[in-house]
Amino acid sequence: MDLTYTAQEEAFRAEARAWLEAHVPRDLPPLDSEEGFPLHLEWEKKLFAERWAVVSWPREYGGREASIIEWLIFEEEYYRAGGPQRATQNGIFLLAPTVFDFGTREQQERILPRMAAAEELWCQGWSEPGSGSDLASLSSRAERVEGGWRLHGQKTWCTRGTFSDKLFGLFRSDPDSERHRGLTYLLVDLKAEGVSVRPVDKLDGDEGFAEVFFDGAFVPDEDVLGEPGEGWRIAMATTGSERGLTLRSPGRFMATALRLIELYRRYRETCDPRLRERVVQAWTDAEAYRVYTLESVTRIMDDAPVGSDSSLMKLHWSEMDVRLHETALELIGPHAELDGTAPEAVDGGRWMKGYQFALSGPIYAGTNEIQRNVIAERILGLPRR
Amino acid sequence: MRFAFSEEQRLFQEALAGMLAEQCPPEAVAEAWNGDSGRIPGLWAKLAEMGVVGLSVPEAHGGLGLDQLDWVLLLQEAGRAALPEPLLETSAVAAPLLSELGGELANEWLPRIAAGEAVVALGLDPAPWVADAHEADLFLLQAGDEIHALSPQEVRATAQPSVDGARRLFRVEWEPSERTRAAAGEGGRELLALTLDRAALGAAAQLVGLARAMLDRSVDYAKKREQFGQAIGAFQAVKHQLSDALLQIEFARPLVAHAAYTLVHDWYTRSRDVSTAKARASDAALQCAKTALQCHGAIGYSFEYPLHLWMKRSWSLAAAHGDAAWHRSRLAKLLLD
């Protein structure tokens, strides 16, 4: 057991901290809004230009070949400095690991640098109107034609779909197949003929979702990821990353917990004294996640599979995020209901905004009910039925 | 950065687990409830032979000279087996304290501890009780910032029976004097703070093992017990409770190892890390006790079925050396003020 950082890691932290403190934009409007989106893109391009967009990637694709420990350090520093949610996150955190593992060299070269540079934004196409938690029941289909596939059907809840250029998702390519078989992982140009995108506002009113309709849109063979018919297995690698480390590093939650402590110091005289213990509990949630992650990355460095542990992590971070924000809203009491535009809003209304975002955590990337089933069946070995 | 125990630490854990599976089965723990000592006859000598009892006694005094980090996995196993022996107090806490006190006290008692020939009872704030006073050869007791060493003849012990029948607690009355004083002032304060952290951490490690034992037993039961024509473990209502129990354990377990590391390396976060670990390990064990009982149903509620042995040890250790609320309150002072 050695919980110290090397001189190289400390130097990496110092460099990241100095750059982020000087450059992180303050008070950007929401990412999923017409006025906010271009400003977030500008920030992404600045990150990319200085090689901070995808630190763990190879240099040729814009990264720094940072180790997993350095990546954790970068995330800690990014959120400590108050960096905004990443506009490119669905691409760099969800699709990219799959492209690295299953993509051809040609696909990697074509897709990854543009994704990292925020020149091409990606959204995911998993859910359908009839397929949510039961993803394997999906029915959007890919019909084999000369040189590629023609798509028919509908995807929904595509995060930031209206702002995206491309969609990655699963389509039923074998019409006689059922469930997990006969699905193909496709990369779809949202500007192509036969694709239409309809915005759907999220709970918080931002234009964060889209429905995507396919009416014979053509996808060339070069945009199949992995082998046709192997889509389920390939996609599970992506959802594994989504649930686990790649999307939800501890740095974000620890930064929120430390802001909650600052908030407590401002409201300690007026708030309910019982909230003192709740603030402490919220901090221990974040600390437990940080320490669990150290153990988890050590296993990754030892080449042990992460597997179903990612379900434990997903339960913990998603429920912790809700509790962190609930506690903050109780601290600010009557200010909780003020919108960010209200002159007397606390911290620009970030706590209610963050609360609404946190409430999506137990739903997306596999609902927490599904995760509890996965833990019971795959880790504890309880019978499926 | 490497958050993992060493191969040696794992092997020692396995060896102890194997030994306790043989020597400390639930029937033996239940038996200990009825005995005068509350212990398993002969087991302490076997633990001493393995080196467990003298783990943190310096090699010069016949021990292994290891530290708190080496204790974590062993105390987890002691918890898993609901071991009714004074391993936490005598071996994990009193032995390093005696080393630090040094002098005659260390020279006289450390070799006897390592040989399995002496039991040390501890009276430390905030615990009002002294465990195993009936078996103790030496008492190390706190009075304000001072630590005093007393013989059994110098204290009056009144039994305060615990909910856990193998855990013998006492109210100890005694008079501090110049002669009994072993540490005082700034040095005393620092030693007492460190000792409290060691005790709380040791309890936390045992609680993690207890929680895991209750979960494992419940999972086994839920796989075998059939109702409505199927194993009850196939019902989501049961699955989700057991998943939540695992979640609590898995996010407490690394905190215990983390706190042991910062304690051994004397990081400034030591007390904060110990309190985090003890608070969450206590919560995890209490939740696992409830979940285990609920998943067992009526059989778990019967005295002859052994589940209650782990439940009661969990309730005891959750309350000992600062309960979750005490440690969160200490954390609040460290984090918020």
User: Are A286 and A313 members of one domain?
Assistant: yes
pLDDT of A207 strictly over 90: no
For residue A260, being part of any structural domain is answered with yes
Task: Measure Cα distances from B215 to B289, B307, B310 in Å.
Answer: 8, 10, 11
Candidates B205, B203, B222; CA nearest to B294 is B222
Contact B239 A372 (CB under 8 A): yes
Q: Where are the alpha helices (DSSP H) in chain B?
A: 7-23, 26-34, 43-50, 68-80, 95-101, 103-114, 185-224, 236-264, 270-296, 298-301, 307-319, 324-336
Both tokens of residue B278?
Answer: 């003890």
For residue A365, being part of any structural domain is answered with yes
Q: Where are the alpha helices (DSSP H) in A50-128?
A: 68-80, 89, 96-102, 105-116
User: Are A207 and A286 members of one domain?
Assistant: no
Q: What is the dihedral angle through the alpha carbons of B263, B264, B269, B272, rounded to the nearest 10 degrees?
A: -10
How far apart (Å, rounded) are the C-alpha atoms in residues B296 and A233?
Answer: 37
Kindly report, residue by residue over A96-155, the tens digit of the pLDDT. Answer: 999 999 999 999 999 999 999 999 999 999 999 999 999 999 999 999 999 999 999 999
For residue A189, list its beta bridge partners.
Answer: A166
Contact by Cβ (8 Å): A73, A62: no
Higher pLDDT, A208 or B73: B73
User: Are A260 and A375 members of one domain?
Assistant: yes
What was the pLDDT predicted at A244?
Answer: 46
Give the chain B residue nearest A379 (alpha carbons): B243
For residue B122, list its beta bridge partners.
Answer: B140
Query: Distance (Å) from the C-alpha of residue B24 to the closest C-alpha of chain A?
Result: 25
pLDDT of B161 strictly over 60: yes
- ipTM for the predicted complex comes to 0.97
How far apart (Å, rounded) are the C-alpha atoms in residues A195 and A190?
Answer: 6
User: Are A267 and A323 members of one domain?
Assistant: yes
- Cα-to-chain-centroid distance, residue A40: 16
| Average confidence score pLDDT of chain B | 97
Interface test with B, best of A10, A258, A313, A372 (most B CBs within 10 A): A372
Kindly report, residue by residue over A255-277, the tens digit of the pLDDT. Answer: 999 999 999 999 999 999 999 99
User: Are A28 and A67 members of one domain?
Assistant: yes
Q: Which residues of B touch A (CB under 8 A)?
A: 1-6, 69, 215, 219, 222-223, 230-231, 233-234, 236, 238-240, 242-244, 246-247, 250-252, 254-255, 257-258, 261-262, 265, 276, 279-280, 325, 328-329, 331-332, 335-336
A109: number of Cβ within 10 Å:
13
Domain at A13, CATH number: 1.10.540.10
Q: Residue A56's domain spans which residues?
A: 7-87
User: Are A254 and A374 members of one domain?
Assistant: yes
User: Are A255 and A370 members of one domain?
Assistant: yes
What pLDDT band is residue A27 in, cutting at 50, 70 and 90? confident
For residue A71, being part of any structural domain is answered with yes
For residue A42, being part of any structural domain is answered with yes
Contact B246 A383 (CB under 8 A): no
Candidates A43, A150, A151; CA nearest to A87 is A43
Residue B328: its chain A contacts at CB < 8 A? 277, 280-281, 284
Task: Measure Cα distances from A202 to A91, A197, A209, B136 in Å.
Answer: 20, 15, 6, 66
Candidates A230, A216, A154; CA nearest to A186 is A230
User: Are A314 and A363 members of one domain?
Assistant: yes
Point out the domain boundary residue: A65, A87, A109.
A87
User: Are A281 and A355 members of one domain?
Assistant: yes
How far apart (Å, rounded) are the C-alpha atoms in residues B211 and B286?
Answer: 8
What was the pLDDT predicted at B170?
Answer: 98
Contact B246 A297 (CB under 8 A): no
A147: number of Cβ within 10 Å:
10
Kindly report, residue by residue over A197-206, the tens digit of the pLDDT. Answer: 999 999 988 8
* Segment among A203-212, B43-52, B127-136 with least mean pLDDT: A203-212
- Name residue, tokens 């984090």: B335
One-character DSSP codes across B291-315: HHHHHHTHHHHSSSSTHHHHHHHHH
Q: What is the mean pLDDT of residues B190-194?
A: 98
The angle that helices A250-267 and B324-336 make with each other, rounded to 10 degrees, is: 80
What was the pLDDT predicted at A238?
Answer: 62
For residue A173, being part of any structural domain is answered with yes
Extents of the domains making up chain B: 194-336
User: Are A374 and A269 members of one domain?
Assistant: yes
Q: What are phi and psi of A35, to 5 degrees?
A: -80, -30
Contact B332 A276 (CB under 8 A): yes
What was the pLDDT predicted at A239?
Answer: 61
Say how many domains are in chain A.
3
For residue B181, list its beta bridge partners.
Answer: B148
Residue B219: its chain A contacts at CB < 8 A? 380-382
User: Are A279 and A217 members of one domain?
Assistant: no
B194-336: which CATH number, 3.40.30.10, 2.120.10.70, 1.20.140.10, 1.10.10.10?
A: 1.20.140.10
Q: What is the mean pLDDT of residues B182-211?
A: 98
What was the pLDDT predicted at B67?
Answer: 94
Catalytic residue list contains A75: no
Higher pLDDT, A245 or B278: B278
- Name residue, tokens 């990319």: A48
How far apart (Å, rounded) are the C-alpha atoms in residues A133 and A7?
Answer: 45
| Average confidence score pLDDT of chain A | 94
